Chain A
Amino acid sequence: MDVTADASRGLDLSRLVEFGKSVYSLVILLVLWEVVGQLGLIHYYFLPPLSDILIRFAELTLSGEMLFNAYLTLQRALIGLAIASVLGVIVGVLSARNDIVDWFFDPIIKIGYPVPIISLIPVFMLWFGIGDISKIIMVAVGTFWPVAVNARESTRQVETNLIWSAQMMGTSDRRLLWRVVMPAALPGILTGFQIAMPLSLIITFVFEMVAGGGGLGALEIQGVRSFESAQVYAAIIAIMLIGIGLDRILRFVRGRLLHWT
């Protein structure tokens, strides 16, 4: 009994040391940030003390302003991403499975994928205005490409042997897509979503910064314009949390769906 207790305590201690080693640099930085801010070594406008930023973050959160803007941003990014995911997977999988579809989409993907999609923001402002719809369409158009390209590649790379296996066991060509092709391509399709997700946020933030209409991007840029630097930092903290949160969710979903890999 004693031995095991000792061993587990020893383990805990070494884990604690490992943990300390991995975060000490962040702790030093945060402390330094606070001290430098408090002593006024760097002008408040550039770097408010960490505590001020956290207070501002709390204020914005409690007043509901932060949550509302986060909601606006997330709604735009995620609806756009959802549309792109559906269309991208359909186009990607079909063009991997069908020569005519591929003939049509291949040159369009070749030309469309490399376009720095952000440069189309002014076009979307012209076409669809600066409202939610415009932002959602922009996100959908921008994130379509990585989803489609990854879906296409992973569908193409489905092993012939798997398809043959299913055929010999009696799977008809029509059912092949659902029974074999989609499950086999799923890892690559999910990779496409994982690439598209941050892109959806990038597009939303930049659009909000350029065109306003609320959202975390607008909150940030408004902070810059009104010399409220604590608000800029607070918005970035929120963005970081959202980024980490979405990333975790996607990883979790991936782990769940791909527990067999």
Chain B
Amino acid sequence: MDGRVTISGLEKVYGQGAERTKAIEDLNFEVDGGEFVSVVGPSGCGKSTLLYLIAGFLDATEGTISVDGDPINGPGTDRGVVFQDYALFPWRTVYENVTYGLEEDGVPKDERQNIAQKYIDMVDLDGFEDKYPKELSGGMKQRVGIARTLAYEPKILLMDEPFGALDQPLRESLQDQLLDIWSDLGKTALFITHDVEEAVYLSERVLIMTRHPGTKKTVAEIDLDRSGSREEIVTSDDFAHFKNDVWKSLHEETQTEVTL
């Protein structure tokens, strides 16, 4: 399947001189096409940096990132980002935010309308097309953020703690919506979170990063039976077991940080 991300020898250094910070060091990792991978790690370990490097917003200091074998060169419409703070255009309505990428692509108006409506319905926002972002709650804004990114049909979804600012019930419902969308559309998903349960619940694999400067610590394979309901999954022994594994691994990193 398309949408394979290959990261090799990645290093990112911010600033120079006294302000020089190495955020990411020698990271090698591959996300398969259509795979759902979460990234967890101590705060400040370079998770966002990694995501924005893949998005092409930042340039790597060393190493390469390739999509389906081609090294990336800046942002491209094959990748779509969902930001933690939504980053919607406040001067555009929900509908206009969702059609933005299609406008840039030169899609004709009636086609834009169809596509936008499809994704607005998909995230349960029909009826809110003409609202401005300021009129929406956080959860609704993030659903617009997701619809906007889906609408121009990138192969790869990059999400930086997209539900981090939302309360628990809302997170859970958005997680389920996201999983539905992901299995319907078959996209590659890279999902950053600091919530171990969220990572285990959503992903096929979890990349655990070391503390600053960040690199790959381990990768946990989450081999869960996801056929049941949320309650069945979350209360299963397997789930507890995977959660424990990831938590322990992550805890070692935060421990070293505290004792230092």
Residues of A within 8 A of B133 (CB): 260
Q: B87 contacts which of A162, A171, A186, A261 (Cβ < 8 Å)?
A: A162
Asked if A169 and B87 make an inter-chain contact with CB atoms under 8 angstroms apart, the answer reads no
Residues of A within 8 A of B57 (CB): 164, 167-168
User: 13 interchain pairs (CB within 8 A)?
Assistant: A161-B85, A161-B87, A164-B55, A164-B83, A166-B100, A167-B56, A168-B75, A168-B80, A169-B101, A170-B105, A184-B91, A260-B90, A261-B134
Which residue among A168, A169, A186 has the maximum number of chain B CB atoms within 10 Å of its CB? A168
Report the Cα distance A169→B91, complex, angstroms: 17
Residues of B within 8 A of A162 (CB): 87, 89
Mark contacts of B33-70 with chain A using CB atoms, 8 A cut-off: 1 yes-contact digit, 0 otherwise.
00000000000000000001001110000000000000
Mark contacts of A165-187 with chain B using CB atoms, 8 A cut-off: 1 yes-contact digit, 0 otherwise.
11111110000000010011010
Mark contacts of A151-171 with chain B using CB atoms, 8 A cut-off: 1 yes-contact digit, 0 otherwise.
000000001011011111111
Count A-B contacts at CB 8 Å.
Answer: 65
Chain B nearest CB from A190 CB (Å) reads 13
Asked if A168 and B85 make an inter-chain contact with CB atoms under 8 angstroms apart, the answer reads no
- Tell me, yes or no, whether B155 is within 8 Å of chain A by CB: no
Asked if B104 and A165 make an inter-chain contact with CB atoms under 8 angstroms apart, the answer reads no
Report the Cα distance A259→B91, complex, angstroms: 8
Asked if A169 and B152 make an inter-chain contact with CB atoms under 8 angstroms apart, the answer reads yes
Asked if A170 and B89 make an inter-chain contact with CB atoms under 8 angstroms apart, the answer reads no
Range class of the A interface residue count: 10 to 19
Range class of the B interface residue count: 20 to 34
Mark contacts of B70-89 with chain A using CB atoms, 8 A cut-off: 1 yes-contact digit, 0 otherwise.
00001111011101010111
Chain B nearest CB from A175 CB (Å) reads 8
Report the Cα distance A171→B81, complex, angstroms: 14
Chain B nearest CB from A258 CB (Å) reads 8
B175-216 with Cβ < 8 A to chain A: none
Report the Cα distance A168→B152, complex, angstroms: 10
Asked if A168 and B79 make an inter-chain contact with CB atoms under 8 angstroms apart, the answer reads yes
Residues of B within 8 A of A169 (CB): 77, 80, 100-101, 104, 148, 152
Chain A residue with the shortest CB-CB distance to B87: A161
B84-136 with Cβ < 8 A to chain A: 85, 87-92, 100-101, 104-105, 132-134
